[in-house]
């Protein structure tokens, strides 16, 4: 159980021997009285109650605060385990999907690097281009050799750069609608986003400078959590703290996603020694990269887009599983639902 700051009241299970720092309160259970997974899920339903126990000037949660906190348990440990098993199965499936997604992304990234950074994409004979003696030409702008026929340009050679905006909060009719509204806080590490913390209405969309960005638009966070990338899983709007890259005709959104990753890497290297606290449009427009011929991009897309479709499907499934878990959690904990 975490005791400080924004993490105060969050609960985790330690399933292997490890040390914790002073920001955690550790609770050991008697296995003859309580199942640790059941207690974990019960405490997750008590997040606000635990935070409200906080004491002191800094409002930290410590062991004295939780010493007398009441945990409601079914009398039989076997019943506790049955309840926890239902919730644990959902979390295990979510974790499995996340690990599959991580592997698929890693494979796609390795292929991108092999083709577009090392230049060993398949040549006309299916052999690695550079390693098989493919013609390379020195590029003065990039200060390195690139394949013949490739050029140096910004990401705008393959995408349109777009900005966002925020509807005024003074008009309630602009908010709580059906249109997802992406901000940097929604960039949580998943590649695809299908839902956001905030939603706006059609009136909010029309009454502000934001736009409706289509599925597969690449969002770049420009302030806050700078340099994070997300692919829109559905049509959504975006605030002014982000940029949007919309792939041009016949350009794969997956290729654009990894090219944007390469762009962010260049900006991070360039800012070495200074604070990387924002991205402006000039950073995107004036950073040159090696841009391949279209045929290579299309071949890459045919290989990696099915993997990204799997990632998108797993992400959607995880969202549904999490909603089911969060719906079942209080019902099982307060006895409104039982496990046969």
Place of tokens 């009285």: 33
How many angstroms from the chain centroid is the CA of residue 276?
A: 20
Give residue 275's pLDDT: 65
**Using the 8-state DSSP alphabet, how is residue 204 labeled?**
H
- For 107-317, CATH number out of 3.90.220.20, 3.10.105.10, 3.40.50.2000, 3.30.420.10 equals 3.90.220.20
pTM over 0.75: yes
Read off the pLDDT of residues 252-304 as tens digits, 9 standing for 90 and up: 999 999 999 999 999 999 887 666 789 999 999 999 999 998 799 999 999 99
Which carries the bigger pLDDT value, residue 270 or residue 325? 325
Lowest mean per-residue pLDDT among 32-41, 219-228, 266-275 = 266-275
Q: Is the pLDDT of residue 3 over 60?
A: no
- For residues 315-331, average pLDDT: 96
Which carries the bigger pLDDT value, residue 46 or residue 15? 46
Instruction: List, edge to edge, every strand of the sheet that includes 237-238.
Output: 198-200, 175-182, 237-238
Q: Is the pLDDT of residue 7 over 80?
A: no
Q: Is the pLDDT of residue 329 over 70?
A: yes
Which carries the bigger pLDDT value, residue 271 or residue 160? 160
Give residue 175's pLDDT: 98
Q: How far apart are CA 183 and CA 181, in angstroms?
A: 7
pLDDT band at 70 (very low <50, low <70, confident <90, very high): confident
Q: Is 289 helix (H, G, I), strand (E, B) or coil?
A: strand
Q: How far apart are CA 177 and CA 202, in angstroms?
A: 7
Sequence ranges of the domains in the chain: 5-90+319-333, 107-317
Give residue 69's pLDDT: 83
Residues 6+ apart with CB under 8 A from 145: 136, 137, 138, 139
- For residues 80-100, average pLDDT: 97
Q: Is 336 helix (H, G, I), strand (E, B) or coil?
A: coil
């Amino acid at each position: 159980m975490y005791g400080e700051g924004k993490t105060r009241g969050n609960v985790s299970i330690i399933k292997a021997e490890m040390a914790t720092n002073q920001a955690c309160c550790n609770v050991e259970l008697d296995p003859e009285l309580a199942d640790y997974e059941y207690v974990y899920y019960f405490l997750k339903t008590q997040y606000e109650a635990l935070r409200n126990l906080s004491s002191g000037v800094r409002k930290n949660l410590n062991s004295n605060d939780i010493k007398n906190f009441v945990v409601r348990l079914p009398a039989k440990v076997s019943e506790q385990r049955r309840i926890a098993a239902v919730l644990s199965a959902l979390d295990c499936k979510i974790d499995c999907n996340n690990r599959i997604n991580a592997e698929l992304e890693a494979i796609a990234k390795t292929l991108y690097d092999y083709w577009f950074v090392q230049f060993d994409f398949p040549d006309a004979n299916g052999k690695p281009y550079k390693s098989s003696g493919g013609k390379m030409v020195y590029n003065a702008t990039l200060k390195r050799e690139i394949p013949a026929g490739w050029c140096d340009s910004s990401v705008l050679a393959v995408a349109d750069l777009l900005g966002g905006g925020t509807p005024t909060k003074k008009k309630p009719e602009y908010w709580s609608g059906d249109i997802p509204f992406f901000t940097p806080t929604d960039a949580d590490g998943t590649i695809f986003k299908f839902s956001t913390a905030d939603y706006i209405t059609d009136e909010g969309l029309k009454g502000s400078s934001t736009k409706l960005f289509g599925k597969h638009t690449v969002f770049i966070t420009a302030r806050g959590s700078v340099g994070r990338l997300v692919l829109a899983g559905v049509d959504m709007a975006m605030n002014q703290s982000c940029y949007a890259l919309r792939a041009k005709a016949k350009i794969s959104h997956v290729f654009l996603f990894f090219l944007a990753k390469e762009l962010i890497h260049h900006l991070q290297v360039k800012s070495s020694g200074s604070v990387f606290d924002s991205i402006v449009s000039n950073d995107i427009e004036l950073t040159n990269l090696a841009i391949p011929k279209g045929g290579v991009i299309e071949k890459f897309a045919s290989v990696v887009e099915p993997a990204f479709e799997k990632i998108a499907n797993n992400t959607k499934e995880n969202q549904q599983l999490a909603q089911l878990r969060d719906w079942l959690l209080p019902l099982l904990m307060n006895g409104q639902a039982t496990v046969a």
